[in-house]
Amino acid sequence: MNDLPLDQVRTLLAVVDEGTFDAAASALHVTPSAVSQRVKALEQRTGRVLLTRTKPVRPTESGEVVVRFARQLARLERDARAELGMTSAGEPTRVSIAVNADSLATWFLGALTRLPAEPRLGFELRREDEDHTAELLREGQVMAAVTSSPDAVAGCSVRALGRMRYLAVASPEFAAGHLGGPLGEAPVVDFDRRDDFQDGFVRRLPGAEGAASPVRHFIPTSEGFAVAVAAGLGWGMLPEAQAVPLLRAGRLVQLAPERPVDVPLYWQQWKLDSPALAAVAHAVSATAAETLRS
């Protein structure tokens, strides 16, 4: 009674993906009653509640373990079908990856271009802050992630990629007009409401009191963030790769040259013997070694 029946596991995944029991029944071509019975049987077998019966349904912590197993099982099945020549001609292997916006805007896409033409891969990238990408792995929504955590998610392996350096910068005009006093009083640019990077930088300054200014602008794209800072909307922390060309062009000035901030990045991925995932991991590691600080 310790095995996990595959039809029940796949049914649970369908319910999570579709959001309701009725929608899962339609996708699986069975009755809603059959879906409900399979999920209940799986919960009885595991001795755990696997779903919260909300709309849409959400997996519990135990449910996330089963969902991740279901996605890994589906990945292995697709790889096996591809190796056996059972896939449709030209059908690509899909690889889902969570990656932070700054990596996406600077070095990550270059890694994907290094992959060979075969096997054919289709990428589904999920943009998320590097402090939160591991959550998508934990929930089984992605196969791999660029993350700031060295602690491997259950069922995943982890390897260090390098350090992304950030510089505190502002436009020359902004610096002349706003930075005669403490940095914490000057308007600031944040990525979104979860972004506390600028606040953390201010708190680490000698004699600093409190966080960055309450006058702040939220710019939720890496490219837009850099444009906003260069345009003088506020000061902000830019990746070195974005900041250096603008510094050389005189469009930015560095506010604390002696205080760069290095953020370590890690690659986490499912522990699967997947040729596609192995190829992506190799390309990502090689590109990171060339572009990030060691």
- The tens digit of pLDDT for each residue in 176-219 reads 999 888 898 999 999 999 999 999 999 998 877 788 889 999 99
- Report the range of poorest mean pLDDT among 46-55, 73-82, 101-110, 196-205: 73-82
Does 165-262 carry CATH code 3.40.190.10? yes
Indicate the domain borders of the chain: 6-74, 95-159+266-291, 165-262
Rounded to a whole number of angstroms, the distance between the first and last alpha carbons of the chain is: 49
Q: What is the pLDDT of residue 83?
A: 65
Q: What is the pLDDT of residue 208?
A: 77
Looking at 3.40.50.300, 1.10.10.10, 1.10.1740.10, 3.90.1150.10, the CATH number of the domain 6-74 comes to 1.10.10.10
B/e letters for 86-104, b = 16+ CB within 10 Å, e = fewer, are ebeeeeebebbbbbbbbbb
- Answer for the pair 263, 163: CB distance below 8 angstroms, yes or no: yes
* Number of residues that make up the chain: 294
- Distance CA(276)–CA(79), nearest Å, equals 8
6-74 matches 165-262 in fold: no
55 secondary structure, DSSP code: S
Q: What sections of the chain are H helices per DSSP?
A: 6-18, 21-28, 32-46, 61-83, 101-106, 108-112, 133-138, 172-178, 197-203, 222-230, 240-248, 275-291
Q: What is the pLDDT of residue 118?
A: 76
**Closest by Cα among 165, 155, 176 to 232:** 176
Q: Which helix H or strand E contains 253, and what residues bound it?
A: strand 253-254
92 secondary structure, DSSP code: P
- Say which CATH superfamily domain 95-159+266-291 falls into: Periplasmic binding protein-like II (3.40.190.10)
Mean pLDDT (the chain, rounded): 91
293 secondary structure, DSSP code: B
- 88: pLDDT confidence band, cut at 50, 70 and 90? low
Bridge partners of 144?
97, 269
Q: Is the pTM of this model over 0.75?
A: yes
Q: What is the pLDDT of residue 85?
A: 62
- Answer for the pair 216, 190: CB distance below 8 angstroms, yes or no: yes
- 154: pLDDT confidence band, cut at 50, 70 and 90? confident
